[in-house]
């Protein structure tokens, strides 16, 4: 095939996940001529094998749990029947619908879509091995851009010596392709992915054992939140072990499942078994075979090193966003990084540097968890004097009405400046409620200002206002 060449793009974006397509769309809106390159469908991990399909399944699982408690609302329906194949079909329909809408935005924003495997060929060129499906004849094309954004995302990773087979020992990628449930499962890793799948499986009637190497579940969250989640999971019947120790190389695969010996640190271990072992131990950046060696870009602990004021690498015209740069490795954070890079490339002088502390975090287990800002532990580590307002959902009428009232909201303020330092919520619709706190953080609001804002009654949002008022011990309803 002949090698084609195009040198008329202001920006070439390599990778069409949330960070990549957000950057491409915004750059086009700012008047740049943009090419978006990916060998797969637009949407990346989040849309196809991450956030969206997972949350679709969690929604089904939460609905099952709500039906189980229908009698509490005066509605008799009996024990629900789980049709996981239908849930999986709905999961796939949700993904398809979102992908169809996203695909239409490529044309709406006048972005040039180029399907194929792209690699950097120097800091300003992207060499694309074109896809051969449909009307595309394949071959190779070289895209020359004034600027390039690398947004190649990440992939699931395992533990050294633990071999993923996709059947007995699986990752979240494998689970999101399945349409059958195991009768029991061991989940290794209690970060966001691990606790979400543990929660979902339990609500669908699967026996769950959750193992976490560190002392607390969701170890990146406020410790009190992790402790509350562990109590909730244990009450529900999930077997939880923190400080869990086992030899990955000693995990045995049998015809019926897996067996492993595990125990809390410093205590006797025992053998456990299950039909499936789900490995949820984090993600690795896709920095291999993307052509970084043809540039001056540097890696830091495996991630692409960038200037957080601009998302620019060491190369003046090469930027990077999303999971390849580390940070929080969240889809909405990748999108924000993409916006920042697009505005810098377009010449906007009024941009704010990336601040990962100010980025909201959301975990969709039951109960949900969401937060923004510093944890109590981080305040202590940094020597920041702080004060705390905390209110349980049991004090909120809408939570009682809805029948879901475990958990709390915690607001952390500075004792010296009264600035807002952090907000942490565990409970119903926490991931929706955190948006107010995120806006407050962005606008440098104080807890007093959050509390002084009228929150409609009865709503779940009242808990954020009540917790903010309680920073100065002035909560009205608690």
Radius of gyration of the chain (CA): 24
Asked about 457 being catalytic, the answer comes back as yes
Which residues, in sequence order, are CB contacts of 304 under 8 Å at separation 6+? Answer: 150, 285, 287, 292, 297, 298, 313, 320, 324, 325
Residue 61 to residue 58: CA distance in whole angstroms: 5
Q: Are the C-beta atoms of 426 and 368 separated by less than 8 Å?
A: yes
Residue 226 to residue 210: CA distance in whole angstroms: 13
Q: Which of 352, 424, 429, 457 is catalytic?
A: 457
Could you list the active site residues?
457
């Amino acid at each position: 095939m002949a090698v084609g060449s195009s040198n008329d793009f202001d920006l070439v974006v390599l990778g069409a996940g949330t960070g990549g397509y957000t950057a491409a769309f915004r750059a086009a809106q700012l008047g740049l001529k943009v090419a978006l390159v990916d060998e797969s469908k637009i949407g990346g991990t989040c849309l196809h094998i991450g956030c969206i399909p997972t949350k679709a399944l969690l929604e089904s699982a939460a609905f099952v749990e709500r039906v189980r408690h229908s009698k509490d609302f005066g509605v008799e329906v009996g024990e629900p029947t789980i049709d996981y194949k239908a849930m999986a079909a709905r999961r796939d329909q949700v993904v398809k619908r979102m992908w169809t809408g996203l695909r239409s935005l490529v044309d709406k924003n006048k972005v040039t879509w180029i399907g194929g495997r792209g690699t950097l060929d120097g800091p300003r060129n992207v060499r694309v091995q074109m896809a051969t499906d449909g009307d595309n004849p394949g071959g190779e094309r070289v895209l020359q851009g004034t600027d390039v954004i690398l947004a190649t995302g990440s992939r699931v990773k395992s533990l050294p010596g633990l071999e993923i087979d996709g059947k007995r020992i699986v990752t979240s990628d494998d689970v999101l392709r399945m349409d059958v449930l195991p009768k029991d499962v061991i989940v290794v890793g209690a970060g966001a992915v691990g606790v979400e799948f543990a929660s979902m499986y339990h609500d669908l009637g699967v026996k769950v054992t959750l193992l976490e190497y560190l002392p607390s579940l969701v170890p990146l969250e406020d410790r009190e939140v992790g402790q509350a989640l562990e109590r909730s999971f244990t009450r529900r019947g999930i077997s939880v072990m923190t400080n869990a120790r086992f030899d990955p190389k000693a995990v045995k695969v049998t015809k019926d499942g897996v067996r492993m010996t595990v125990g809390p640190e410093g205590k006797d271990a025992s053998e456990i078994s299950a039909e499936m072992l789900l490995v949820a131990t984090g993600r690795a950046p896709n920095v291999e075979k993307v052509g970084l060696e043809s540039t001056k870009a540097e890696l830091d602990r495996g991630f692409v090193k960038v200037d957080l004021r601009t998302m620019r690498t060491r190369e003046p015209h090469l930027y990077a966003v999303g999971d390849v740069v580390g940070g929080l490795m969240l889809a909405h954070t990748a999108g924000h990084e993409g916006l920042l890079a697009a505005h810098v490339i377009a010449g906007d002088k009024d941009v704010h540097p990336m601040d990962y502390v100010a980025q909201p975090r959301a975990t969709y287990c039951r109960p949900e968890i969401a937060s923004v800002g510093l944890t109590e532990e981080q305040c202590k580590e940094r020597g920041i004097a702080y004060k705390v307002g905390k209110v349980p959902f049991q004090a909120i009428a809408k939570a009682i009405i809805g029948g879901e009232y475990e958990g709390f909201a915690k607001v952390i303020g500075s004792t010296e400046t009264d600035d807002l330092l952090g907000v942490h919520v565990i409970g119903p619709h926490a991931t929706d409620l955190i948006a107010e706190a995120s806006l407050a953080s962005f606008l440098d609001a104080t807890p007093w200002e959050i509390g002084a804002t009228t929150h409609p009654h009865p709503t779940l949002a009242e808990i954020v206002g009540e917790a903010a008022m309680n920073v100065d011990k002035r909560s009205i309803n608690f």
